[in-house]
Amino acid sequence: MSEEDIASEESSLEEQMVEEQPKNEPLIVHQEQNDKRCATYIFNNEDHTLGNILRTVLSGHSNVEFVGYSIPHPS
């Protein structure tokens, strides 16, 4: 495979990724809770990288009792 073929394939993959992302979907959605000590945030189009970093940083604070994240199964 030549370098031109590889570059062409990479650009087509990037175009596909951009097309798959929803256009008007906000990056962060905050869901209101009755209890002001709790919060739920939804980060659209993110993966374990952001979730694990936020979980690690937030769990290091002494006033945080629980923090977790989940990602829906792709199927």
pLDDT (tens digit per residue) in 35-71: 888 888 888 888 889 989 999 999 999 999 999 988 8
Is it the case that residue 30 has pLDDT exceeding 70? Answer: yes
Q: How is residue 5 written in tokens?
A: 């073929």
Residue 58, domain extent:
22-75
Enumerate residues 6+ apart whose C-beta is below 8 A from 61.
none
The total of structural domains in the chain comes to 1
Domain contains 14: no
Considering only residues 9 and 46, tell me which one the structure prediction assigns the higher pLDDT: 46
In a domain, 39, yes or no: yes
Using CA atoms, how far apart are residues 39 and 67, in angstroms rounded to an integer?
10
Q: Is residue 17 part of a domain?
A: no
Indicate the average pLDDT of the chain.
77
